[in-house]
């Protein structure tokens, strides 16, 4: 199963000490294939955090994407039937309307899937 990580998810281990990969593996069926869009990495670069998340990104497949990050995420998720990891409430609502499952942080300690 493809699991797309949004920019805010890449920063989560720094803020909340959550082990993303074990938490995500607990929630999805089968072996997750982690994906990050190039536009998310560009967004991280603009935040000055790109170096901090290199370990996480090294475990993912980079997919080229242009335009607005949220648009690219929605398009990829629908096209590839991917689960999206995001804490962005507006994006989660939009994805839910499109029939896309999301994984989000609950209570600063664990992840849940909706």
In eight-state DSSP terms, residue 51 is G
The total number of structural domains that make up the chain: 1
The CATH number of the domain holding residue 54 is 3.40.50.1010
Instruction: For 86-101, write each residue's pLDDT tens digit.
Output: 999 999 999 999 999 9
Lowest mean pLDDT among 37-46, 58-67, 71-80, 85-94: 37-46
Q: pLDDT value at position 13?
A: 81
Average pLDDT over every residue of 5-17 = 86
CB contact set of 67 (below 8 Å; sequence gap of 6+): 39
With CA atoms as reference, report the closest residue to 59 among 100, 9, 107.
9
Determine the pLDDT at residue 55.
77
Range of the domain at 103: 2-113
Return the pLDDT at 53. 74
Does the predicted model carry a pTM greater than 0.85? yes
- C-alpha of 14 from chain center: 15
């Amino acid at each position: 199963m493809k699991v797309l990580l949004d920019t805010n998810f890449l920063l989560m281990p720094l803020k909340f000490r959550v082990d993303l990969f074990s938490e995500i593996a607990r929630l999805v069926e089968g072996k997750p294939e982690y994906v990050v869009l190039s536009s998310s990495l560009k967004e991280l670069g603009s935040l000055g955090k790109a170096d901090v998340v290199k370990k996480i990104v090294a475990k993912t497949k980079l997919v080229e994407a242009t335009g607005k990050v949220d648009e690219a995420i929605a398009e990829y998720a629908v096209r590839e039937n991917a689960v999206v990891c995001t804490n962005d409430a507006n994006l989660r609502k939009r994805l839910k309307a499109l029939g896309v499952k999301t994984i989000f942080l609950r209570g600063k300690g664990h992840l849940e899937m909706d």
